[in-house]
Amino acid sequence: MHDIEDIILRTFKESCHLKEVFVNENVIRIVKIVDVITDALKEGKKILLFGNGGSAADAQHLAAEFINRFIIERPPLPAIALSTDTSVITSISNDYDYSDVFAKQIRALGHPGDIAWGITTSGSSTNVIRAFEAAKKLGMITVALTGKDGGSAEKVADYILNVSSNSVPRIQEVHITVGHVICQMIDYKLFQKPGE
């Protein structure tokens, strides 16, 4: 039992430490991304979020925070997770290729000035990179949450937040934390009352 307790404590410490390192390295980038997304929403633009596996779940989670509410009561904000429509995903995968599942949806739903927010723990998921490339051609703003060394996303995304770790679970824990922080700060910028 003592071994299990040690592993649990070590895991929490690793997660906390990585979050501290990440925010110290990226706080200015986070502020910039909050500003960019806030400006897009003010202009009537939308956020398209996407990723695979746990990152798909994070995309859906964050879309829900924008559409429903995060902490404060406020109007819904336009966000779509591109990992939720199984008919679209399976038809594209079957008729074309899985690497096109997000790019095709971007081409169908994206407009200039919209946000394409991709999440990839490796930084190199082919379908995420292709979606960024499609978004850039449409004049969309691209935001990447990555891990490891940032991968191919470093070369194609306008804004990148990289978690310098090789542990996928720890990367994902930072991704959802920074996603929540971005939601909270966008709410603050859009809906704060004077004096708050």
What pTM did the predictor assign?
0.95
Within-domain flag for 53? yes
Owning domain of residue 24: 2-191
pLDDT in tens, the chain (196 residues): 679 999 999 999 999 999 999 999 999 999 999 999 999 999 999 999 999 999 999 999 999 999 999 999 999 999 999 999 999 999 999 999 999 999 999 999 999 999 999 999 999 999 999 999 999 999 999 999 999 999 999 999 999 999 999 999 999 999 999 999 999 999 999 998 655 5
Q: What is the pLDDT of residue 116?
A: 98
Q: What's the CATH code of the domain at 132?
A: 3.40.50.10490
Within-domain flag for 178? yes
Within-domain flag for 186? yes
Within-domain flag for 196? no
What is the count of structural domains for the chain? Answer: 1
Task: Give residue 68's Cα distance to chain centre.
Answer: 17
